[in-house]
Amino acid sequence: MLAMNRGALRVFITTALFLFTLTTTLLSQETSSLAWTKVKLTNGPSTRASFASAYDPVSKKVVIFGGYNDTSTLNETWTFDGTRWEKIKASNPPSARFSAAMAYDYHIHKLVLFGGTTGFGAFGDTWIFDGATLQWTQAQPKNVPAGATNPILFSDPVDGHVIMFGGYRGRFYSRDTFRWTGADWALLNPANSPYPRSSAIAAYDPIRKNVVLFGGISDNWVIQNTWTWDGTDWTQQNTAHQPPPLYHTGAAFYPPLQEIVVFGGGSEGVDQDTTWAWDGTDWTLLSPARSPAAREQLATVVDPASRQLLILGGMDFGSGVFFGDVWKLTGE
């Protein structure tokens, strides 16, 4: 695909997401209530938590990498098409790790992965996953951010490049905002910035055309505030309601509600089984008919191919139980 300028790319991304939102909303008009439903699967990955995950528009599949379970740290790559798991035989995958992050870059049409750990120190390497070949390539940027665990990666709502915010960088929590240019990391200087943190929620909102960030862990343990990124600057949102201070969870836009939905996560040492929604102005606690078990270090993604909001894996930190299940949200 030929390179697009920022304006054209924004129109492309927004139009595609709008059409997906409209189609999914029309298909779900007859649904009257929310419920989490366990997806019946066979031959999926083993139980695991703290793995990197993102939707890849090229392969039209959810991609997960790494993580850990009660026996080992992993370097497996799996894809999920909404129905079936497939283990990818990559010839040169990143080394085993957990607490890495991954997002899709609309300019290079590939996934970008950064950071992670094996429990000792933090990785500062950058890896590229090509959904067309299902292979990994290590990038060689000139500017290498300090290694980080649980940085926050997402697609920029304006130019489509991957943005990285925060992360725990060994001795401190970061508040830096970087942009992946396609070959290098560029440190940005927004006028405003959220408090330093890692393990926060970040999700693109195609209705409001921004990315919402909530919660996370910092040097004062947990954070309970909401920020949005518009492609240029961060803005703190003054909300009437908000979830408890969540960390180690994810969020994704759910088209039938036209809101960002969050499930689970840790909160001051206790894992949650609650579902929250962000409508661009305020947070609402939802009451689905059924919910998965409380968990953290899970993945939350939308799979446009199957038109499902999914949660995958995770663990119950209190009991040490790891999950290998997949749940989908239905209703409105």
Residue-wise pLDDT tens digits, 45-88: 999 999 999 999 999 999 999 999 999 999 999 999 988 999 99
What is the reported pLDDT for 3?
36
- Angle CA 9–15–21, to nearest 5: 135
- Comparing 332 with 235, the larger pLDDT belongs to 235
Counts for the chain of helices (H) and strands (E), in that order: 1, 28
Q: Find where tokens 């992050």 sit.
A: 101
Q: CB under 8 Å to 138, separation ≥6 — which residues?
A: 92, 94, 125, 126, 127, 128
What is the reported pLDDT for 33?
85
The per-residue pLDDT of the chain, averaged, comes to 90
Stretch 137-141: mean pLDDT: 98
Give the domains, in start order, of the chain with CATH numbers. 6-330 (2.120.10.80)
Residue 25 has pLDDT above 50, yes or no: no
Closest residue by Cα to residue 249 from 226, 217, 286: 217
Closest residue by Cα to residue 66 from 31, 111, 3, 32: 111
At 158-209, the pLDDT tens digits run 999 999 999 999 989 999 999 999 999 999 999 999 999 999 999 999 999 9
**Beta pairing class for 135-138 and 152-155:** unpaired
At 273-325, the pLDDT tens digits run 999 999 999 999 999 999 999 999 999 998 777 678 999 999 999 999 999 99
d(CA 222, CA 79) in angstroms, rounded, equals 32
pTM of this structure: 0.89
- Angle CA 316–317–321, to nearest 5: 45
Closest residue by Cα to residue 73 from 90, 96, 94, 50: 96
Residue 234 has pLDDT above 90, yes or no: yes
What is the rounded (10 degree) CA torsion for 114, 318, 290, 313? 30
d(CA 96, CA 117) in angstroms, rounded, equals 8
Amino acid at 268: E
In degrees rounded to 5, what are phi and psi of residue 126?
-120, 130
Tokens of 63: 């991609």
242 neighbors 283 (Cβ within 8 angstroms): yes
pLDDT band at 9 (very low <50, low <70, confident <90, very high): very low
Residue 204, number of CB atoms within 10 A of its CB: 22
Would you list the DSSP string of 61-112?
EEEEE--B-SS-B---EEEE-SS-EEEE--SSPPPS-BS-EEEEETTTTEEE
Q: Find where tokens 């957990």 sit.
A: 98
d(CA 149, CA 147) in angstroms, rounded, equals 7
